[in-house]
C-alpha cells in the first residue's frame, strides 16, 4: 500500500475517532448526536441513581415501601431496570446514532421514577428530582427536541402519580409543598433557557466549522461528512429493500486540480469513475488520491 492510501486510511481513522471522542454532528432530523463520552456519562448517571434507589428503599428503616408495592416486587423491577441500563449502554458503545434508543431509555427513566414515587412511603419523594435529571440530562445532550419531550413526559407521569396518590397529597398540602412545586417549575424553565442558548451556540459553531469563510461554501471536511451520511443512508435503504445500489463521488478543487473549470470537472469525473471501478461499492475519491483497498 502506497503512502497516499495510508494517509487516506489514517485520516478516516482519525475522523471516526474524533466522532467518538467529541465530534459535533446531528442526525437527519437535526437532533444532536453526542459523542460516546457524553452518552457513557449519561448511562453511568443512570447506574448511580439505580444504586441510590436500591439503597434508599432497602436501607430506609422498617417501612421500606407502601402497602400496595412489596419490597420484593420493587427490587425485582429495579433489577430489570438495571439490566436495561447495562444492555443499552453496550448498544450505545457500538452505535452512537440511534434515535429510538434515546427515546426508549428516556421514557423508561421516567417510568422508573414514577414507580419509585408510587412505592415510596414518603409523600415528598426524592423520585421527583429524578424527573429534573431526565429533563436536564436529555435537553443538554440532545437539544430542544428531546428537552420538550422530556418535559411533557415528566409532567404527564407526575400528574398520573399525583392522581394515584391524591389522598396522600391532599393530606400533605402545606407551604413547603407549594414551594417545592414552585421551585420545580422554576428549575425547568431556567433549564429550558440554558438549553436553548447552548443549542443555538452549538448550531452556530457547527455552521462556522462547516463553511469556508472566503466563499461561504461547504469546506472539504463538511463535504466528506455529508456524501458519507448519504452513502450510509443509501446503503441501509438498499439492504432493507434488497436492491444492489450505491453511488460514487469525485472531489476536486480549483486551481490545484486544473487551470480552468473544464479541466477540474474532467479530473473530478475521472476520480468518480476510479472510485466506482476500484472500490466496487461506491465511495468518495479526491483527484490525485489513491483509492483505498
Contact 32, 24 (CB under 8 A): yes
Give the model's pLDDT for residue 280: 61
pTM summary value? 0.67
Cell of 188: 425547568
Cell of 279: 472500490
β-strands 248-251, 283-286 pairing:
parallel
Give the model's pLDDT for residue 81: 97
Angle at 279 between CA 277 and CA 285, to 5 degrees: 90
Give the model's pLDDT for residue 243: 83
Give the model's pLDDT for residue 41: 92
Task: Report how far residue 32's alpha carbon sits from residue 41's, in angstroms, rounded to the nearest whole number.
Answer: 16
Give the model's pLDDT for residue 74: 92
Q: DSSP alpha helices (H): ranges in the chain?
A: 3-21, 36-58, 71-94, 99-119, 127-142, 144-164, 166-171, 175-210, 220-241, 261-279
* Total Cβ atoms within 10 A of residue 190: 11
Domain regions of the chain by residue span: 24-210, 220-286
* Total Cβ atoms within 10 A of residue 23: 15
Digits of tens for pLDDT over the chain (293 positions)?
444 444 444 444 444 444 444 445 655 555 678 889 999 999 999 999 999 999 999 986 556 888 888 899 999 999 999 999 999 999 999 988 888 999 999 999 999 999 999 999 888 888 899 999 999 988 888 888 889 999 999 999 999 999 999 888 888 777 777 787 788 888 888 888 888 888 788 778 777 777 777 777 777 777 777 767 787 788 788 888 888 877 777 878 778 888 888 888 888 888 888 877 776 666 677 787 655 43
Amino acid at each position: 500500500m502506497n503512502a497516499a492510501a495510508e494517509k487516506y486510511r489514517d485520516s478516516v481513522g482519525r475522523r471516526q475517532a474524533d466522532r467518538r471522542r467529541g465530534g459535533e454532528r446531528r442526525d437527519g432530523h437535526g437532533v444532536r448526536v453526542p459523542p460516546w463520552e457524553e452518552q457513557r456519562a449519561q448511562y453511568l448517571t443512570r447506574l448511580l441513581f439505580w444504586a441510590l434507589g436500591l439503597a434508599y428503599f432497602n436501607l430506609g428503616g422498617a417501612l421500606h415501601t407502601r402497602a400496595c408495592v412489596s419490597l420484593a416486587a420493587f427490587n425485582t423491577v429495579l433489577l430489570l431496570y438495571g439490566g436495561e441500563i447495562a444492555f443499552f449502554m453496550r448498544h450505545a458503545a457500538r452505535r452512537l446514532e440511534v434515535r429510538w434508543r434515546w427515546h426508549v431509555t428516556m421514557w423508561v427513566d421516567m417510568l422508573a421514577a414514577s414507580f419509585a414515587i408510587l412505592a415510596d412511603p414518603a409523600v415528598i419523594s426524592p423520585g421527583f428530582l429524578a424527573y429534573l435529571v431526565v429533563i436536564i440530562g436529555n435537553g443538554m445532550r440532545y437539544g430542544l427536541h428531546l428537552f420538550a419531550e422530556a418535559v411533557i413526559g415528566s409532567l404527564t407521569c407526575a400528574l398520573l402519580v399525583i392522581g394515584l396518590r391524591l389522598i396522600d397529597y391532599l393530606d400533605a398540602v402545606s407551604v413547603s409543598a407549594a414551594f417545592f412545586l414552585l421551585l420545580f417549575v422554576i428549575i425547568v424553565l431556567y433549564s429550558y433557557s440554558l438549553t436553548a442558548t447552548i443549542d443555538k451556540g452549538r448550531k452556530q459553531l457547527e455552521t462556522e466549522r462547516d463553511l469556508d469563510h472566503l466563499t461561504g461554501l461547504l469546506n472539504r471536511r463538511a463535504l466528506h461528512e455529508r456524501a458519507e451520511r448519504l452513502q450510509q443512508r443509501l446503503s441501509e435503504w438498499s439492504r432493507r429493500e434488497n436492491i444492489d445500489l450505491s453511488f460514487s463521488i469525485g472531489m476536486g478543487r480549483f486551481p490545484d486540480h486544473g487551470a480552468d473549470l473544464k479541466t477540474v470537472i474532467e479530473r473530478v469525473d475521472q476520480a468518480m469513475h476510479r472510485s466506482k471501478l476500484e472500490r466496487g461499492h461506491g465511495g468518495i475519491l479526491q483527484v490525485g488520491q489513491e483509492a483505498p483497498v
